[in-house]
Amino acid sequence: MERQQIVVSGLGGQGVLFVARLLADAAIRKGAGVLTSETHGMAQRGGVVVAHLKVGDFESPLVRESRADGLLVLSAENFRLHRRFLAPSGWAVVNAPPGGLTGGSSRVCAIDADGLAKEFGNLHAINLVLLGYALSGPAGVEEESPLFCSAEEIREVLRRRMEGKEKLLDASLAALALGMKHGKR
């Protein structure tokens, strides 16, 4: 399996670390090595939270500038802050209101995850809506899914993590599906 470096960025409370851990679990299930780096502490009270994820035979837990294959941005205002991590050929999926993202290239795709989560009635769903969109092959990205794992692999991770918590699992799978509906597949 190819190596992949991903940066997940957002604000405290948006579920940045949860997304990173889902992807890390998916990597383990594929038999790959994984290293992540998380933000804990005061930033988790609404401040800037960022998680680095490196899948494959890495040793350092941090993604270097211009090395990330992909960027998952849960809050549009952070794109300015963390786009420096993106490799020239990298892709980014950004939660932004319609017309709310400027300065992006063709490999930068926006989805209004806030709006979708509000319709869905659960602001905690932003992270999974965005992840679903990224997994489904967002417009502007040629690959079917730019991520190292498939939607089914993420669903399996969710099922394992939420064993015995059926309501939470159903809501999580629905949020993922909502994001996927807006992608290519």
Per CB under 8 A, residues contacting other proteins are: 1, 11-13, 20-21, 24-25, 27-48, 56-62, 64-66, 75, 77-78, 81, 84, 118, 123
Question: What is the smallest separation between the CB atom of 127 and other proteins, expressed in angstroms?
Answer: 14
Q: Which is nearer to other proteins, 55 or 141 (CB)?
A: 55
Across-strand partners of 5? 54
Q: Which is nearer to other proteins, 17 or 151 (CB)?
A: 17
In whole angstroms, give the CA distance from residue 138 to residue 93. 8
Q: Which is nearer to other proteins, 17 or 93 (CB)?
A: 17
In whole angstroms, give the CA distance from residue 62 to residue 60. 6
Question: What is the smallest separation between the CB atom of 39 and other proteins, expressed in angstroms?
Answer: 7
Identity of residue 74: L
Question: What is the smallest separation between the CB atom of 168 and other proteins, expressed in angstroms?
Answer: 13
Query: Which residues, including other chains, have CB under 8 Å from residue 56's CB and lie 6 or more apart?
Result: 1, 2, 3, 4, 32, 33
Q: 26 and 149 in contact (C-beta within 8 Å)?
A: yes
Q: Which is nearer to other proteins, 37 or 150 (CB)?
A: 37
**Cα–Cα–Cα angle for 129, 100, 10, rounded to 5 degrees:** 50
Question: What is the smallest separation between the CB atom of 46 and other proteins, expressed in angstroms?
Answer: 5
Question: What is the smallest separation between the CB atom of 184 and other proteins, expressed in angstroms?
Answer: 29
Q: Which is nearer to other proteins, 29 or 184 (CB)?
A: 29
In whole angstroms, give the CA distance from residue 90 to residue 117. 26
